Chain A
Amino acid sequence: MVDDGHSMANKRPCCFPIAGSPQPRSLPPSFQLDMDFLLEIFLELPISSLSLDLSFEKLLESRALDSDQNVLIDRALLLGSLLLEAGKRCARKIASKRNSCVWALPPDLTVKVFSILDTRSLCNVAATCRMFHRCAEDPLCYADIDLRTITPKVNNAIVSTMVQRAGQVLRSLKLGIVPGPSTSYGPSQPLVFPIHSSVDASGFSWNDKRSRQGKYSSVLTRSCLNSLLGDNGSAAGLLLKRLHLHNIDRMDNPALCAALSACPNLIDLEIVGLHVELRQLLESVSTNCHLLERLFFESSKAGRDDSLKSPACVDFINSCPYLTSLSLRGFKLHDYKAGILVKGFCKLKDVDFSASYSMTGAFLRNIGNSSSSNVLEVLILRDCIHLKEVEVGRFLTAVLAGDFKFIRQIDISNREGLASEDYWYERCYNPSAFPLKQLSEERPDVHLIAEFPSEVSFLEIERMIDSDANTDDSLQSQLSSHSSDSLFVSSTESSYNNDQGSGDEDDRFADHVIYEEIL
C-alpha cells in the first residue's frame, strides 16, 4: 500500500465525477496518475468475494435514493466489464508475444512451410493463433486448393474466399465429394454404377433439403466456381492448371462451361459424377482449353449420355492437340467416334473408355495403321458391355505383328465377360481366344489385365523361365510362389471362395478367373 499523504476522503470530491451529482466535474490532469494509483491499490486488495460484497452493500446502503443505488450498480457492472476486457486484451497481447518467441521461423519461412501443407491442415494451423493466421492468408498457401471431403461440408463462401486469396497464384483446385480413403478411383478399379446415388451408404442424402436451411450451409451450388471468373481481367482462373470436380450435385452445364471459359491454361480436367453432358463439356473444352493434356470424365448417367456427335469429336481433336490422357467412362461411345478421338490426338498415350456402351472394339482395327498407334501406352476398356472378344483378339494380334510399339498396359476386364461375335448377350470368357503365350514371349513388356467371371473350375499355370520378375500383383501370392515371368491362368473358385482369409482381396474377386501376363 502506497501512502503518499493523500487520504481517500480528501481525493474523492475533486477527482471523481460523483455518482448522482447533476454535473460531472471537469477532470484535472492528474486524473490518469490517480487512476493508475487506485487501480494498483484495488488490484492488490486481497480478493475475497465476501469482503467485496460487504463493502459494496455498505456503499449501496449509504445511498438513500433508489436511483442513486441503481446508478452505483450500473457503474459497478460497467467498471467490472471494463476491467475484464482490459485483462483479456492484455492476456492476448502477452500470448501473442510469447507465441512469436516460441516459434523460431520468420514469417517468410513460415509461409513457405504452410504452402506445403494440404488445405485442411492449413486451415487447422490458421485457427491456432494470430501469427499463424496471418501467415496462412498469404496467397502462396493457396496455390493448390484441395477442398474435397467425404461428406458435404464445404460451401461456396469457403471456396470463393480461398480462390480470392490465391489470386493469380492459383494452380490447382479440387472440389466436391469423394469416397473415403479405403476406396480409390483409378483405372484398375471396376466402375461401380451409379457412382453416387442420392443416398449414400451412411444414409446421408446429398439432396437433403435440411442442409440448405439453418445458419451454416454445407452445400456447393452451381455458383461455387464463380470466383474463378473475377471481374477485372485478373481472374483467378487465368493461370489455373488443374481442376477436379467430384459429385457436385447442383453443378450444371452453363455454370461449368462458364467456369471453363475463365481457365484458358487448364492442363488437367477431371469431372466425376456431375450432371453435365459430354457434348457440352467437350464443346466448352474445345473452345476454351487449348492446352489441355488430361481429360478424365466419368458420367453420372451410366451409359445413357448419348450426346456426343462426330463433329464435336473432330472439333475436340483439332482444338486440343496436346492431349496425352483421355478417359471417358460410362458414356454411349460408338466405335467410329472412339476411332476419331484415338486417331486424332497425335500425343495420346493413355486411353480409358471403361463402361462404354455401344463400343464393340472395331475402332481398334482402324487405329493400327495410324501414327497414333505408335504412341499409345495404356488402353483400358473395362466393363464395356458390347466389347467383342474377336475384336480384342484382333487387337492383340496386331500388337504381336508390331503395331502399338509402346503399349504397356491393356485392360479388358469385364464382370460379364466379353461379348461374342453375333449376340452381345452371349458372353465369353475363354482364354484360348487370345494369343497369350505368344504375347508373353514376343512382347513381355505388355501387361494384360483380363478379369472375367469364371464358370468352370480349372487350374492351369504356365511358366516362362526367366526368374527375375517382380510383380507386386497381390494375386501372385495366392498361388504357389513363383518368382518368374509367368503367364498364368487361374481359377479362383476353389482357391478364393473357400478361402476366408484371402487378405486384401475384394469380394469381386470371389468368382473371377484372372489372366495375367506379368513382366
Chain B
Amino acid sequence: MSEKNVASESSAKNVVLRTSDEQEFVVEERIAVQWGTIKRIFEDTFTGKPIPLPNVDGKTLAKVIEYCKKRAETEPSSAEGEKREKELKRWDLEMFLDEPDDVIFNLALAANYLDIKDLLDAACEKIADTIKDFTVEDCRAFFGIESDFTPREEEEIRAEHRWAHDLSRN
C-alpha cells in the first residue's frame, strides 16, 4: 500500500501531512520544519505518523508547498539587504499575480496557522495591494461588505476621513 511506503519514507527525509479534507501530502522534511507549527510538532510529539492539519484544505496546502519549494529554489541571490528584500517582494507579488482572491485569503489563513512568516507576509502584501487605492464604495462592492454605521457614526467618520475621500474623487 502506498500509505505504508509513505510511512516508512517519513522516517527518512520526508513528512506526511494530512489535510482537513483527508488528502495526504508528502513534503521534504527540510522544507516542512521551516514552518513553525510543524517544527513544534517535530520537537514535541512527532510519532512518524501523518501530521493532521485540520485547518488547511488540500488545495491550499498544495499551493503552500508550491510556494515554499519555489522560494527554496530562488534563495541564493547576489543582491543583499534592502535590495534583496525588494527583489523578494516583487517576486512574491508576481507569483500571486493570477491567483483569485479567495485563494490568497486561504493562503494567508494557512500561513498563519502553519506559522510560515514569509508566506504570510507575502499574502498580506498581496491583499493590501488589492485594497490600495480603493474608494469606500469600491471596497464595499469588492468584498461584499455593507455599511453598518449609525447615522451619527457615519457623520463622524465622514468628517474624520474627509481628506482621503476627496482625494480619491480627484
Contact = CB atoms under 8 A, between A and B. Distances in A.
Interface of A: 92-93, 95-96, 98-99, 102-106, 109, 112-114, 116-121, 123-133, 147, 149-150, 153-154, 158, 161, 216, 218
A129 B148 contact: yes
Contact of A121 (B102, B132, B140, B150): B132
B37 interface: no
Contact of B148 (A99, A126, A161): A99
A216 B145 contact: no
A129 B146 contact: yes
Contact of B108 (A98, A109, A125, A126): A109
B128 A109 contact: no
Interface stretch (B8-16, B39-47, B73-81, B159-167): B159-167
Contacts of B168: 120, 124
B62 interface: no
Among all A-B residue pairs, the 8 with the closest Cβ atoms: A123-B164, A116-B128, A153-B163, A95-B148, A123-B161, A95-B146, A92-B148, A104-B105
B146 A98 contact: yes
Interface string B97-124: 0000010011011001000000010001
B163 A126 contact: no
B125 interface: yes
A124 B157 contact: no
A159 to B, nearest CB: 10
A325 to B, nearest CB: 15
Contacts of B146: 95, 98-99, 129
A125 B109 contact: no
Binding site secondary structure of chain B? helix
Binding site secondary structure of chain A? helix
Contacts of B120: 112
11 contacts: A95-B146, A95-B147, A96-B148, A104-B108, A116-B128, A123-B160, A124-B161, A129-B145, A147-B163, A149-B167, A153-B162
B95 interface: no
B158 interface: yes
B8 to A, nearest CB: 38
Nearest to B139: A128
A93 to B, nearest CB: 8
A216 B158 CA distance: 11
A149 B163 contact: yes
B103 to A, nearest CB: 11
B167 A120 contact: yes
A117 B163 contact: no
Given A116-B128, A218-B163, A126 B145 contact: no
A181 to B, nearest CB: 11
B143 A103 contact: yes
B93 interface: no
A117 B105 contact: no
Given A104-B105, A127-B165, A117 B148 contact: no
A109 B161 contact: no
A258 to B, nearest CB: 25
Contacts of B134: 121, 124-125
B3 interface: no
Contacts of A126: 157, 161
B109 A128 contact: no
A129 B140 contact: yes
A247 to B, nearest CB: 16
A112 B165 contact: no
Contacts of A161: 160
Given A109-B109, A125-B136, 15 more contacts: A96-B148, A102-B144, A104-B106, A105-B108, A109-B108, A109-B112, A113-B124, A113-B127, A123-B161, A123-B163, A127-B158, A128-B147, A129-B148, A149-B167, A153-B162
Contacts of B150: 92
B164 A105 contact: no
A117 B145 contact: no
Contacts of A133: 149, 157
B142 to A, nearest CB: 10
A350 B144 CA distance: 49
Contacts of A127: 136, 157-158, 161, 164-165
B159 A120 contact: no
Contacts of A120: 164, 167-168
A130 B148 CA distance: 6
Contact of B136 (A95, A96, A128): A128
A337 B147 CA distance: 60
With most chain B CB atoms within 10 A of its CB, the pick from A95, A123, A149 is A123
Given A127-B161, A129-B140, A130-B149, A153 B166 contact: yes
Contact of A117 (B131, B157, B165): B131
Contact of A124 (B105, B106, B135, B147): B135
Contact of A158 (B102, B163, B166): B163
